[in-house]
Amino acid sequence: MDLTRKKNIYPLLHVLAWLILISMPYLLTQGQNQGEYVVPKTLIHIWVPLFFYAFIFYSNYIYFIDRLLFDRRTVLFFVINAIIIAVFVWANHELKRYLTDILIPSDNLPNRPPRKIFLYLDFFASLVPLAFAIALKTTERWVKTEAERKEAKNVKLQSEIQHLKYQLQPHFFFNALNTIYSLVDIHPESAKNTIHSLGKLMRYLLYDTETEKVPLQKEIDFMTQYIELMKLRFSDKITISYSFPKVSENISVVPLLFITLVENAFKHGIPASKKASLSFKLEVMDTFLVFTAVNPNLPKNNSDKSGSGIGLENLGKRLQLLYPNRHSFTYKVKDETFTAVLTLEM
């Protein structure tokens, strides 16, 4: 529900509540033996006090609570309310006595209790609308503060996501340029084709990934093009395989999550001179997606800046922001083989 609708509903709820409070006592007495003075008695004992209670409630709800209580002028707030309640208790008692004398004959009146009892009862009854006004206003203030906090958190979250995304794009571009650089001298024609492929990849990065989610098939096509681009860089000693299914267009994911694991495999899984095997697999299981990347574990040394990038740490942060409690991300090294498994709940 948007704020405009809420602002329109609140006055209606107030009107409805007061209509119920005003009409209910009269309606409840209709089936009882109240004689011909039902309306005067309801007016004197119900409607007159309700008028004073409404004034106490709305004067505090609209003005005094915000200007005094929430402004930490507590003593002044309670002093003013004590004066208002005292005046209203006296006025309520005098008005009820006056209306009783002119509307109800004395022979239809029960014996009146001592005046002090009425004054005490009216005083404590007048505290109810004051307490209710404080409770309602405090609750509304908390709801508003909570909504603002969530909005601020959401803005911060989107900012962090955008920041991490901007980190990823230059990182991806840097790796792709390395591939093209390695082809310029030995395969000029392949380098030209690679630049064309890179243009398509960058177009996807810059435009298609601006939305919150993208069709999973587009992500699969993007990873396929990237892997094929990277294949051009390595000799036959490096075996690169992937298994990506054709999926329905209605399956969507947050963009650029799986590519981090693909990049990481190429960064850390390619040896200088010996054979190696890299594999990537995406599986769709009921309501889950499972992406697995397997590559040799060849950690970079401290002098190699390509190994100090954003990689897995970046991915972990994005998952926490975008799939809280809806993902699993694990990786391990066993027998010099690095395996990363990312599971997303769709």
pLDDT digits (tens, 9 = 90+) for 255-298: 888 988 998 898 888 887 788 899 999 999 888 999 999 999 88
CA distance 344 to 282: 11
Integer Cα distance of 254 and 211 in angstroms = 9
Cα–Cα distance for residue pair 174/34, rounded to 1 Å: 90
Q: Which of 46, 58, 45 is nearest to 15 (CA)?
A: 58
- State which amino acid sits at residue 109: L
Question: Does the pTM of the predicted model rise above 0.85?
Answer: no
Average predicted confidence (pLDDT) for the chain: 78
What is the reported pLDDT for 85?
87
Which residues make Cβ contacts (< 8 Å) with residue 273, sequence separation at least 6?
Answer: 237
**pLDDT confidence bin for 1, thresholds 50/70/90:** very low
> pLDDT at position 79, please?
92
Helix (H, G, I), strand (E, B) or coil at 30: coil
SS3 letters for 168-205? HHHHHHHHHHHHHHHHHCCCHHHHHHHHHHHHHHHHHH
Percent of the chain predicted with pLDDT > 90: 20
Looking at the domain that runs over 156-345, which CATH code has it been given?
A: 3.30.565.10
pLDDT at 30: 53
Query: What is the rounded radius of gyration, in angstroms, for the C-alpha atoms of the chain?
Result: 37
Amino acid letter, 96: K
Number of H helices, E strands in the chain: 9, 7
Where in the chain are the domains? 3-112, 156-345
Alpha helices in 61-187, H assignment, sequence order: 74-103, 115-184
Give backbone dihedrals phi and psi of 223, rounded to 5 degrees, phi first.
-65, -40
Q: What is the pLDDT of residue 341?
A: 96
pLDDT at 309: 42
Task: Return the higher-pLDDT residue of 170 and 41.
Answer: 170
pLDDT digits (tens, 9 = 90+) for 185-211: 777 877 787 788 888 888 887 788 878
pLDDT at 43: 52
What single DSSP character describes residue 51? H
- According to the model, what pLDDT value does residue 308 have? 41
